[in-house]
A and B are shown apart, each in its own frame.
Chain A
């Protein structure tokens, strides 16, 4: 076994895929997670995982078209080479998951079944009921457990990542805290893979799990790692609201034939079943005849928002629309059982008989730690025109055309030895992620970019100076920094009276409300400036924060309060990047700049943190658009040449709704 070690932080799909791949190559892995890895947020993914497959291929689909959809779906903000490699690998990833025993749904003949998903006209989404994320996570959890039992992976569950140890410009380990004993200590490694997911909790209630604070990414960011496209936050069109969180109603509900509608008559008080077909407004189908209910998420979200807020057509006059599955056959209901159960349990109605009532909610962070890649072998002299759906692909699907396999730069941050896999990085999805591409990108990062991590150990700096040669003082310094920080939070216990303003839970609530109002479906300059100022006020409140628990054992509210400080830093980056992107693109829609502006803004926003001043600056950095020429992203919308027309209706109503 190698004398090198790799630390993986996060045990969702990306972290587990990385652990398995790296351990398999003979390098021991230390796997850190704030929860038992089997409970990671990947379990919440429902609908499926995209990959070109034989049936779709014979109908004219190709890996290249999957790539094209991904770039178009992301409104041309993603670096193109990495997305190409991911699409080319997708079928191999499905095969591997299949070998691991994932119970993918089957056809009558026993082949893997497929369903339709947003942003495609072909069935190219593999699925396991409506709990695909759970099933994929379990398969990787099982493989990780196998390596754990062989001593190749060591798990540190209920350990929280606090800070990367960076010495001479390279990452040589981490400092982490045992959430039970509260012990803070350093761990050495030759490379660190961050796989810590998204930052939904910055928005308060979202479809994310309680652990998706973004704190780990925010800590790397404050330690000098750049953060790409923080303003690109996906608001999923269909979620059930709740008092503690919003719960996702998978896009597969629409992929399997679910229809979104509202009564044509404003304030219609009739029950849905009493409303005849002609009096129902299937607004997605009417506006987007080609894609209908499976337009990409940002578009569906804005249309639902607009129908409720601008047109006042929300069901029972509220901000909600119907997602109707009542017309579907029992076999389809069975395929969607996982999510129908969730609706039944949490909303108290049976969606087989009553249309569900849903509304958009924060769901996914396209942005994240900024990462690099080594371009692959496909480099046309000029970017090609957008691919015509069903046409023969210009290239085959051989690997290595998008990214160089095994290159040590793949999915690496601006810090040597520090990698970012999965949702925590900013790659692949641009300004909007297509449904069922998230599971793919997580596993792709782990399997494909994991090889680059191993090669970095073999041929990069660790080959000459392994972690053992790094001075202990580098680690001690960070441990002391974190101990000081912890003490300063614990020391607030019992100081002063019952101050609501300094309550960390209320600071978080107010942060969530503010960011949801200003930085989600509809944004505009003045409101964003106000948001930035309010985040400043929240930071000021945070500096006077008071903790209610001084325990030195399993102090959960301490951990939460510390994370709130990190969320505030991310909030700054999200608001600032939203302000500086004076255009509309994908999930980022500004009423004051309703058009896409490729000349000025087809660039990545890169946020950098000044540790001395504790401030964020955002710069625009060129991206790799060398494969496909940008085109207007219309999805064949009927009432306008482009989506722009719709976008140019900045209304007071929208602003009101978001206030």
Chain B
């Protein structure tokens, strides 16, 4: 079974693209750079950073002719819905599956630089430990507190417009692009400090998502309590980088503003209740 050919035959039938890759053997080990050349031709139509990394894994030889080890990186769906293959490509954080070679390196000899995200500890090469992204979802209790899985009828009815807003927020794949771009979200390798350092745009947006849901609202107070504490919404420096790099075009700054307002009201209410 041969697949359809790709729509655009490139000007040159074959070209060579160089990949300059930051290598690191493990935590605490130094970073070194290795460069590989990958041939792009009709055979590799539709090539992306992933297919080139796959090629390098099978042929781990640098441009100097030195045999090395296959590059380690994280990937799952390759359709930009899982968030796994996020890395810094030519200085910009994004998913490597949707980084098409025809777009990022259209000419013969073009170079592509691949680096791991900098706000998370490197496990090896391009693979980083993003446990903190998921940890921060626990801080804002990013779930609907249902009574259990027994059959209790349907959920709340919802206007189409509200669904549309929630759906957009709910497409967040915890990739960490917003965190990589954020000046306030600095690298923190000690999990003990995670609860008091900036929670990040993704978690603020998830807090907004669950505060919008009829049942999710039940935990709104607890979420806002977490967001008024250290590392909460007040830590946002309003750089607005997050929204520019979000691959799902989630209105992160709207979410931050909404949570900022809600947190202020929460604090004031709490003050008067004391």
Contact = CB atoms under 8 A, between A and B. Distances in A.
Interface of A: 20-21, 24, 35-36, 38-41, 43-44, 92, 94-96, 98-101, 103-113, 128-129, 131, 134-135, 138-139, 142-143, 145-146, 148-149, 180, 209-211, 241-248, 305, 314-316, 318-320, 338, 342, 345-349, 357-361, 447, 498, 503, 505-506, 509, 516-517, 520-521, 548-549, 551, 553-554, 556-557, 560, 657-658
B118 interface: no
A211 to B, nearest CB: 6
Contact of A106 (B50, B54, B159): B159
Contact of B142 (A21, A131, A145, A345): A145
B201 to A, nearest CB: 17
A5 to B, nearest CB: 20
Interface in B111-165: 123-124, 127, 130, 134, 137-138, 141-146, 148-149, 151-155, 157-160, 163
A358 B4 contact: yes
10 contacts: A39-B173, A96-B146, A99-B154, A103-B163, A110-B158, A134-B173, A242-B48, A244-B78, A554-B124, A556-B72
Contact of A101 (B7, B138, B215): B215
B160 A20 contact: no
B58 interface: yes
B154 A520 contact: no
B106 interface: no
A142 B215 CA distance: 14
Contact of A243 (B8, B44, B153): B44
Given A131-B171, A142-B142, A142-B143, A349 B163 contact: no
B76 A210 contact: yes
Contacts of A516: 1
B60 interface: yes
Contacts of A180: 123-124
Contacts of A349: 7
Contacts of B153: 95
9 A-B pairs with the lowest CB-CB distances in the bound complex, closest first? A320-B4, A241-B3, A98-B155, A505-B58, A142-B143, A243-B51, A549-B69, A554-B124, A244-B51
Contacts of A44: 77, 79, 81-82
A338 to B, nearest CB: 8
A243 B81 CA distance: 18
A157 to B, nearest CB: 8
A138 B48 contact: no
Interface string B50-79: 110010011010000001011011011111
B82 A39 contact: yes
A357 B77 contact: no
Interface in B141-196: 141-146, 148-149, 151-155, 157-160, 163, 166-167, 170-171, 173-174
A578 to B, nearest CB: 15
B14 to A, nearest CB: 14
Nearest to B146: A99
A92 B130 CA distance: 35
A342 B151 contact: no
B167 A553 contact: no
Given A548-B70, A557-B57, A243 B47 contact: yes
A657 B51 contact: no
Given A44-B77, A320-B3, 19 more contacts: A36-B134, A39-B82, A43-B81, A44-B81, A101-B144, A107-B160, A138-B170, A241-B6, A242-B46, A244-B50, A246-B3, A319-B4, A346-B98, A348-B8, A349-B7, A358-B4, A359-B4, A548-B70, A556-B70
Contacts of A358: 4
A550 to B, nearest CB: 8
A241 B46 contact: yes
A501 B252 CA distance: 50
A262 to B, nearest CB: 12
A134 B83 CA distance: 11
B212 to A, nearest CB: 9
Nearest to A320: B4
Contacts of B108: none
B163 A318 contact: no
B46 A346 contact: yes
Nearest to B170: A103
B269 interface: no
B110 interface: no
A241 B149 contact: no
**Residue of A39, A209, A503, A658 with most partner-chain B CB within 10 A:** A39
A99 B215 contact: yes
A103 B166 contact: yes
